[in-house]
Structures are given as structure tokens and as C-alpha cells.
Amino acid sequence: MQEEDKSKVINALGGKAGIFDSTVPSLIFLLAFNITHNLRQCLYISIGCALALMILRIFRKDTLMHSISGFIGVVFCGWFAWKTGSAKSYYAPSLWKNSAFAIVYLLSILIKWPLIGVMLGPILGENFAWRKDAKRSKAYSRASWIWFWLFAIRLIIQYPLYKANALNALGIANVFLGFPLYLVTLWGTWLVIKSVPVTKK
């Protein structure tokens, strides 16, 4: 697999910029809340930060799909926190998302349609021919397990903190389990996928 394929894989799985742009506003939110203890102000600051990052991507002519989705995610988190009147609720949608993705990845592996293969097969030009290739199919299953554990680890660590109302610990965990863990997951996914040749149709 070539370097061009690596770029396709990274972009298909969220893009580093998109994950970064959704992680930074959550950190800004946590810092602002510790300083001001004013939920409304913190939400404005967090959403403003997300908007600024998206505008920066526009000026740099970067791919906007993931940055826009990140911005929408930040807005929704802010809306939910404002609706509930609780700062910890800012992180609740992330828990829902991780739960949903963990279930979807697990089910896709169990029914032998690993989600990473479903997403990347068409992008890498093999479509679903990989399902007839035992080694390639196994590689996609292993890669999908990596993503399952990404979401599972986030839940295992963050949900108890959420239930314990440990806002600072929850916010810090959200940062370290966001961009850094995502990069490790991307790296692991690429190592697994590139170890087996693309299936020829």
C-alpha cells in the first residue's frame, strides 16, 4: 500500500484536523469554567473557539467535512449543557456517541462485515472483494477491534467520572482520550491494514 492510500485511510477515518478541532474547544470549555464558573459564558467561548478553528480551515483551504462535523458536535454539546444547566452534560453526547460506535463496531465484527472494511474497501479500490480474501478480511476485523476498544476505553474511563460529577477529571480524560488516543488508533489501524495486500477484484 502506498503513501496515497495512507492519506485516504486517515481522511476516511475522521482526519486528524477534525478530531483536533473538536478536542480543543472542550479543553477551552473546561479551562473557562474553572475560571468563570459561568456556564453560559463558557459555552459561548467554546463554540467561538470551534467557529474560529473552522474559519481557519477555510482560509487554509483544508478539507472541511470533518471540521464542520466537529463544529456541529461542539454546538450540540454546548446546547445540551445549557439545556440541562449542568457543566458535566457538555460531555454527555460524547458518551452516547462512544456507546453507539462501540456497539456498531462490535456487531459488524460478529456478523463478519467489519466496519473498517466496509468503509475503506471502496476507497482503496477493492470494494467488497476483501470478503473472499481470508487474510484481508482478518486484517479488517483486527482493525475494527482496534476501533471498538478506542470507544470502549473511553466509556470505561469516562462514564464513572461522569456519574461521580468529577468535571475536571472528566474534561482532562476527554482530552487525552480524544486526539492522542485517536492518533494511536489511526497508527495501529494503518499498520494492520498495510500488512496485507489490497484484494484484487
Q: What's the confidence (pLDDT) of residue 73?
A: 84
Residue 39 lies in a domain: yes
Q: What's the confidence (pLDDT) of residue 98?
A: 94
Residue 201 lies in a domain: no
Q: What's the confidence (pLDDT) of residue 16?
A: 62
Q: What's the confidence (pLDDT) of residue 84?
A: 93
Q: What's the confidence (pLDDT) of residue 10?
A: 67
Q: What's the confidence (pLDDT) of residue 23?
A: 81
Q: What's the confidence (pLDDT) of residue 88?
A: 93
Q: What's the confidence (pLDDT) of residue 1?
A: 54
**Structural domain count of the chain:** 1
Residue 200 lies in a domain: no
Q: What's the confidence (pLDDT) of residue 60?
A: 75
Which has the closest alpha carbon to 147: 90, 198, 107? 107
Provide the whole-model pTM.
0.85
Q: Which residues contact 122 (CB under 8 A, 6 or more apart)?
A: 128
Q: What's the confidence (pLDDT) of residue 68?
A: 78
Residue 190 lies in a domain: yes
pLDDT tens digit at each of 201 positions of the chain: 555 566 667 666 666 666 777 788 889 999 999 999 999 999 999 999 988 888 887 887 766 666 777 788 888 999 999 999 999 999 999 999 999 999 999 999 999 999 999 998 888 888 898 999 899 999 999 999 999 999 999 999 999 999 999 999 999 999 888 888 888 898 899 899 988 888 776
Residue 76 lies in a domain: yes
Residue 109 lies in a domain: yes
**Chain CA centroid to CA 3, Å:** 22
Residue 2 lies in a domain: no
Residue range of the domain that includes 31: 8-194
